Structure 1
């Protein structure tokens, strides 16, 4: 199994957590999105048509998009289960994952921030304000969802799920960008709990072979 990944990509981070939780061996194939390697003709044609990371290769099967990859891993390697089977809990986990992956991440990923800089010519201060605004909007919703559940040390219960795989990278990126996360204590508690788990620790950006300090 191979994973095309960038160390600081939160979507790649999600999949690395899933692979570590399932104890699946894989080879990391670095794709430096900072210099546009994800847009290389060969990569788009033969690895990931969406011109993004991550991309998983499992034998002759190739798949992009982190949530699709994690669902695939859950179906093919069902233990431990990352997307619950019980309908209500499954719905809560997917609801939370969608908040992170659809409402927060797309507005603050690298290509959007670069577009703000290069095409709209916003100032560094305006770009920072954009980033922090959407983090605050999204994390407020995430915090309310967690407070509603309030069922354990993880987002939804005693075991990590897809929700935690989405939350942890998002919090890590927000902290890296000096966002104030003090209004979201439940989210921070989950993040701190996850940081002590070996699978989450192994997936951290600074532990990846392509890490750039």
Structure 2
């Protein structure tokens, strides 16, 4: 959640929000090891919570410290997309969530990635991140640790797990609707912005 696209961006690379994004990227690998390698569900939940908190915090700090950057505009959404692919796949491999959820998320992100050549032909690197898209990401980031906490037999665990599934269903719905909005934005870009001539 680094910065609104084009909002006072600079060429700075070493900023606090960017460091948090890189940390989140590293923690994704740590999470996979904990979940699939050691089956340390408790620690895996902690890592997911840290990832979710850092995703919120880097946007806050970008605004408070005025540390928007072009690198951040690309890095933060890329880490979010990676999170939304690797974490569900890990859950499916562990047998915690069904594979159809992974298919939905990967197809959606694949179609979104397919838009990039069209955007670049108009001189854009990405579409502006929508609040709905960020809300969907937040819901999904909240869902997975809650579902993981629901893997114990205790009543509290089952209640938390049910809440996690509610967040997951809600998040997937918003994720798909945010994709529709991105498609609408892409259509407007194609209609209103001419192609940039290729350099000879």
Smaller-chain TM-score bracket: 0.3 to 0.5
- Would you tell me which structure has more helix in proportion to its own residues? 2
User: What TM-score do the two structures reach when normalised by structure 1?
Assistant: 0.32
Q: Decide which structure has the larger Cα Rg and report it.
A: 2
- Would you tell me which structure has more strand in proportion to its own residues? 1
